Amino acid sequence: MTNHFSHQWFNSIEHIDATHWQALYGNEPFTSHAFLYALEQSQCASTETGWQPYHLAIYENNNLVALAPGYIKTHSYGEYVFDWSWAEAYQQHGLDYYPKWLCGIPFSPIAGQRIAIEHSNPDSVYQYITTVLKEQSKEQGWSGWHINFCSLAQAKCLQNNNAMLRTGVQFQWFNKNYNDFNHFLASFSSRKRKTVNKERSKISNQNITIEWLQNEKITPEIIQIFCQFYQRTYLKRSGHLGYLNMEFFQFLHALLADKLLIMFAKKQDKIVAATLSLIGENTLYGRYWGANEDIDSLHFELCYYQGIEYCIQHKLACFHSGAQGEHKIARGFEPVYTHSVHHINNPDFAHAIDDYLKREQQHMSSYKQQCSDLLPFKH
């Protein structure tokens, strides 16, 4: 192991200096110290929820050179890179897949900088980190370690250090210097354009209005109203209140108020649906939604079309509206690859999973092409 590097594990992000964290991670909301702090302080990311914080810091001669937000996981909920079948295979062979260590952002399928490195020779840092992770895996009895939604460049560096690369597909909207929504729709074929206009007219014909709230317009009362919508919708859909609680949204409001965008749909001045998005450097992240009425096309209007309008108006380059969702294709969201890396300690399982990932990669390549062929744009 390289001598001049050292490392430290932290079981709470509050023990890591926020200034140092932000210096490495920059201004994207999901990797901000504040976002992760809000998750921990609200107990959404905790040992009890199966997200035990276990962050990694790397030093060179006592200078911080790398950070990785990490969690010891006792399940695979809220990760959006699905390894349930791997866990089942372990169970069938009488082995424990959990605990495992995950570098990622809890409950957030957002690609970005996972391991932040500030060093003249990043390869040497990656080498040290993977060595530390392998040793810690064995010491702690983890089945392995995983780094979700990292950049392709980072995935390749980790792959060079014996981690396995996994590829997924998401759908994102890209701003091609549109002047307004109609300018965007003009890029659609006539039939697809009519479909979108028909969907949007269903909302306007019911006299549903949309209100955008930012900065001082987002009061504690507004946060409370939004959270009630979010939890009620989760309860109706899945029988539980959702991964996030009122305390989390209150912390988010207190710490990242300038990054928040809340949209309300109102019918006769009564709020019938709500979304909460976060604003990054160049991207709008549509994240949380709730409604108390099933209104035809309202989800598309509030979660997709309004976000597109916001991006055009504020000249944001990209709208990221979450994981999955093939229904986004017809609305102009393009397929993009996502990347994660995985290291499995058991050599037999590692070999089997590596083989599976290679076959999955071929499937993802053809799937992405099929999705691209279905895009509504004029050819």
Residues 356 and 283 reside in one and the same domain: no
Distance CA 358, CA 166 (A): 8
| 211 and 342 in a common domain | no
Cα 271 to Cα 254: distance, rounded to the nearest angstrom:
23
Per-residue pLDDT, 236: 81
Position 3 scores a pLDDT of 55
Does any domain span residue 57?
yes
Task: Report the half-sphere exposure of 205 (CA within 13 A, side-chain side).
Answer: 9
Shared-domain flag, residues 9 and 86: yes
Question: Tens of pLDDT along 186-220?
Answer: 999 999 999 999 999 999 999 999 999 999 999 99
**Inter-CA distances, 362 with 168, 195, 213, 278, 324, Å:** 11, 32, 43, 33, 18
- Residue 104 CA neighbour count, 13 Å, CB half: 28
pLDDT band at 324 (very low <50, low <70, confident <90, very high): confident
Q: Are residues 91 and 212 in the same domain?
A: no
**Tens digit of each residue's pLDDT (9 = 90 or more) over 48-96:** 999 999 999 999 999 999 999 999 999 999 999 999 999 999 999 999 9
Q: Is residue 244 part of a domain?
A: yes
Average pLDDT (249-257) is 98
Q: Please tell me the predicted confidence (pLDDT) of residue 1.
A: 45
Query: What is the rounded average pLDDT for all residues in the chain?
Result: 96
Has residue 322 been placed in a domain? no
User: Are 259 and 133 found together in one domain?
Assistant: no
CATH assignment of the domain containing 306: 3.40.630.30
Q: Is 222 in the same domain as 309?
A: yes
The pair of structure tokens assigned to 337 is: 């690859």
The reported pLDDT for the residue numbered 82 is 96
Q: How far apart are CA 244 and CA 11, in angstroms?
A: 20
Are 245 and 157 part of one and the same domain? no
pLDDT band at 308 (very low <50, low <70, confident <90, very high): very high
Question: Is 209 within a domain?
Answer: yes
pLDDT of residue 344: 98
Q: How many domains does one find in the chain?
A: 2
pLDDT tens per residue across span 98-107: 999 999 999 9
Q: Is residue 301 part of a domain?
A: yes
Domain of 73? 5-169+337-373
Return the pLDDT at 265: 98
The residue with tokens 């988010």 is 252
Both 112 and 251 in one domain: the answer is no
Give pLDDT tens digits for 341-369: 999 999 999 999 999 999 999 999 999 99
- The answer on 187 and 91 residing in a single domain is no
Please give the average per-residue pLDDT across 284-308, as a whole number: 95
298, part of any domain: yes
Helical residues (DSSP H) of 188-243, grouped into ranges: 190-204, 220-238
* Closest to 233 in 3D by CA, of 288, 304, 302, 303: 288
281 and 140 share one domain: no
Is there a single domain that holds both residue 274 and residue 344? no
Confidence (pLDDT) at 323: 87
Residue 26 within a domain: yes
Q: Does one domain contain both 100 and 52? A: yes
Question: Does residue 326 belong to any structural domain of this protein?
Answer: no
